[in-house]
Each structure stands twice: as C-alpha cells, then as structure tokens.
Amino acid sequence: MRKLTIAAASLAVLMSTAASAGELRSIDESMDLVQQGRVAPSYIPQRCAAVIHAVDSWAGKEYLGEERWQFGLDSIRNFTINAVIIMYNRQGGEAKELMATVSSAVQVMADIYRARMDNNYATGGQGWGDDKLINDDFLLCITYAKQKIESGKWE
C-alpha cells in the first residue's frame, strides 16, 4: 500500500508541476512514451478517464443531456477499470488498493484539465474550444470509448 501511495503522490506532483509549467503532454505523445517504456501503460486510460471527467463536469449534465452524460460516466468507469487491470497485471496487488490509487490519480489529472479550462475561460471565454490539447485528448479518448462500447470489448 505504501508503494501505491508514494506512486500516487509522485504522479500528483509530476502532473501539477507539468500543468503549471504548461508542459502537459498530449495523450498521443504519452503513447509514444509508453512504447519507449518511459511511461506506465496504465497512465493512458487514467488520462482518458480524467479528460472525459473534466469535460463532462465542465459542461454539466443539463448541457450534455442524459445519454451523453451516461456515456461519459460509462467511459470514465471503463477507462478506470482498464487502468486497474493493467496495473494488476504488471505489478499485482489488491484490487481495492489499486482502484483507490487509480481513482486518486484520475481525480488529480481531471483537476489539472479543469484548471486549464478555468484559465482558458478566464482568458478567452471558452473552456476548451480553442485548446488543442484538451480537444485532441478528448477526441482520441471518446473515439476509443465509442469503439470499445460498440464492440463490447475493453482491452
């Protein structure tokens, strides 16, 4: 458990430092780092859960409508579970502890996206409309989620 707590704390510091410095990498770039073995594979589904959570919470259920809101919740849940499975397969551990670690990391990342949206709105009147990183990350993740939900298979 201590290793998981340290890992989550390290991730939080890394993400907040990167975000405050404007260095948050796109998910697409992060995938390259996963391929190089420089980023854990569970990071990608955590980021996807985070960006969907941030966009959905920014927009709100009233704006999105019931169907899109539920799709977002299902996607967040599936990406989170996917990250837990990847972590379990790579390092083992207790599912409950892994879920707590992943959920915490997803919340930290979602908060970073939301802070970015708040800043975008304050400086330009749009939360993510002109933000290439948020748009690209959201589109990549939501497209993947649609494919997986339609096929009934999450990897």
Task: Give the angle subtended at the CA of 2 by the CAs of 115 and 80, to the nearest 5°.
Answer: 45
The interaxial angle of helices 66-91 and 95-124, nearest 10 deg, is 130
Nearest to 90, CA basis, from 43, 49, 47, 48: 43
The reported pTM is 0.83
Structure tokens at 73: 């919740």
How many domains is the chain partitioned into structurally? Answer: 1
- The number of beta carbons lying within 10 Å of the beta carbon of residue 35 is 10
In the structure, what pLDDT confidence band is assigned to residue 154 with cuts at 50, 70 and 90?
A: low
Alpha-carbon distance 33 to 74, whole Å?
A: 27
50-54, 71-75, 89-93, 124-128: the lowest-pLDDT one: 124-128
pLDDT at position 8: 47
Whole domain around residue 115: which residue ranges? 2-18+25-151
In the DSSP assignment, the letter for residue 130 is T
What letter represents residue 130's amino acid? D
